[in-house]
Amino acid sequence: MTQQELAEELGTRQQTISEWETGMYSPRGTSSTVLSIIAERSSFKYRVRR
């Protein structure tokens, strides 16, 4: 899945996805919850940073 495709699925910008990947920002709120669910169902390790 591309950054653009993920952004469209989450209703955010591609730039936001890029910022998450580089660690500039962390997902918050609903986005964090959705990413946790996706990761769990895909057997990826995903940890919410606080």
For 11-50, how does the pLDDT look when each residue is reduced to its tens digit (9 = 90+)?
Answer: 889 999 999 999 899 888 888 888 888 888 888 776 666 5
Q: How far apart are CA 45 and CA 11, in angstroms?
A: 23
Residue 46: predicted pLDDT: 64
Q: For residue 22, what are its two tokens?
A: 């580089």
Q: Report the pLDDT value the prediction gives residue 13, as an integer from 0 to 100.
A: 93
Helix axes 29-42, 3-10, angle to 10 degrees: 120
In sequence order, the 6+-apart residues with CB closer than 8 A to the CB of 14 are: 3, 4, 7
Largest CA distance in the chain: 26
Give pTM, 2 decimals: 0.70
CB 36 within 8 Å of CB 49: no
More confident position, 44 or 4? 4
